Amino acid sequence: MTSYIAFIGGGNMAASLIAGLVADGCEPQHILVSDPDGQKLANLAARYGIRPVADNREAAGRAEVLVLAVKPQQLQAVAIDLAPVVQQRRPLVISVAAGIRQELLQRWLGPGMALVRTMPNTPAMIQTGATVLHAGPAVTPPQRNLAESILRAVGLTQWVEDEGLMDTVTALSGSGPAYFFLVMEAMEQAGIELGLSPETARILTLQTALGAARMAIESSEGPAKLRERVTSPGGTTERALAVLEGGELRGLFKRALQDARDRSVELSRLLGGQ
């Protein structure tokens, strides 16, 4: 029997996963996509060769893996509509909808479903994402491996056993790209104000960020040790770091992540109608 992966929703995250799966060798004709936007489906079919499907139930009725890639606000209606089909078909269900807890998905889809909740971040759109996964009790080891292989198509994957940690994950890696963009924005602006042309300030900022990330990824040492290695006593880097430390940069980041985590909890409750 041919195995199909069905995407409910054909937006940016679905397109990113599809691109990664196809690049990894998944047969495009084994990928089904349902979306109310016909043009979006046509674009995905033209670009990746996937099979567009007329409606959600048809897609779910043929799938061994069902990826829920709709907006969180739409997921309840979509899941309730799919419940009769998925209860009969019993696919592995992977949700990429932020803030929707597994107990809600079980309530909407029906009991006993194999559910994996994931939290990808936006760099997944260029296959450099960081995705955290949490498996429900009905997920088997082979299904866990399958879910990981699908999400690994867009970058790094990590599992957490406590679903409550997904709110911290949202604060760290989910929102994290914006923190780095803000730091790059600030560095670029400072360079301009100190006399560099906008183009030069931008290029130097971006390449420096890329180089630092590559060094951190490829090194066996942690960021603290790498920072020490590039900080000469009495030098320019030490002077700059003293200013950042004096401005309580670490404390700011801790408070920022705490507030983001708390907001994630609030939004989950709102989405769940609690």
Do 113 and 202 have their domain in common?
Answer: no
Do 39 and 107 have their domain in common?
Answer: yes
**Cβ atoms < 10 Å from Cβ of 58:** 14
pTM over 0.95: no
Do 190 and 260 have their domain in common?
Answer: yes
Do 257 and 206 have their domain in common?
Answer: yes
How many separate domains does the chain show? 2
- Dihedral of CA atoms 98, 134, 115, 178 in degrees, nearest 10, equals 20
Q: Maximum distance among all alpha carbons in the chain?
A: 69
Strand, helix or coil for residue 25 = coil
Tokens representing residue 256 in the block: 């920022």
CA 170 to CA 117: how far, in whole Å? 12
Digitized pLDDT (tens) for each residue of the chain, 274 residues in all? 357 999 999 998 999 999 999 988 899 999 999 999 999 999 999 999 999 998 999 999 999 999 999 999 899 999 999 999 999 999 999 999 888 999 999 999 999 999 999 999 999 988 899 999 999 999 999 999 999 999 999 999 999 999 999 999 999 999 999 999 999 999 999 999 999 999 999 999 999 999 999 999 999 999 999 999 999 999 999 999 999 999 999 999 999 999 999 999 998 888 876 4
Which residue type occupies 185?
Answer: E
